[in-house]
Amino acid sequence: MRVSLAVAVFFAISAMAQTGSPASSTSASNALPSAPSAPSSAPSVPSTGTKVGTINIQEAIFGSNEGRRDMESLSKKFEPKQTELKAQNDELEALKKQMSTQGPSLNDDAAAKLKKQIEDKQKLFDRAYQDYQEDAGNQQQEVATRILQKMAPMIVKYSQQNGFALIVDTSKPWPQSPVLWWGESVDITKAVVDEYNVQSGVPAPAAGTATRPATPRTGAGRPASTPPSAPKPQ
């Protein structure tokens, strides 16, 4: 899941909240030309806290009722494409098995024809799979950015009201991020998600509709979201 743009929104809004200065906000915007405009409701009160906290941005987004609902909708949207890719993959596997079992007994022309058929179908499958991955990733990014534009000011406000001077994103496990370990007591993810759910008014999805597969945990890390699954190129 690529959330670099969404994280850029978060840092832009955080800069506005910490400085409370129009000039500083303009500088932050110029430094991040690709980021969407920050919501006008972003708080502008400087932080006076001293605590350091953590938040898993990806979990906050996709663990919210709105994020879960939108990811479930996205998963259903891509089901036909996943079925199509699976059919292509099954056909490829059957042809490869045929080449493996019958190849030695085929004449040169038949073997060459079968090999060319496999190569052509592999190219078509690889291209379709890449298009699927890009489309799914882009639409997940749109969901993440839209939700974070509304959630980021809430994160800043919550942090200020609870005495935090710094909030670190723990979406990526160490060593992909500099955070080696953190305690549950400083993690504000659940609190932010709970507050966001109340503000958004989106009801919790029915049980069993979660779309976030488990990923390895590091420290107190939590699973992040990934695109809807589909057969991978062989």
Domain boundaries, the chain: 4-76+142-200
pLDDT band for position 50 (cuts 50, 70, 90) = confident
Q: Which of 154, 143, 147 is nearest to 42 (CA)?
A: 154
H/E element holding 165?
Answer: strand 164-169
φ, ψ (nearest 5 deg) of residue 205 = -60, 160
Q: Lowest-pLDDT range, 12-16, 183-187, 230-234? A: 12-16
> Where do the H-state alpha helices sit in 103-217?
108-161, 189-200
φ, ψ (nearest 5 deg) of residue 110 = -65, -40
- The pLDDT tens digits of the residues spanning 140-183 come to 999 999 999 999 999 999 999 999 999 999 999 888 888 888 88
pLDDT of residue 230: 64
pLDDT of residue 164: 94
What is the longest distance spanned by two Cα atoms in the chain? 80
> Where do the H-state alpha helices sit in 48-107?
57-63, 65-77, 79-102
214 neighbors 59 (Cβ within 8 angstroms): no
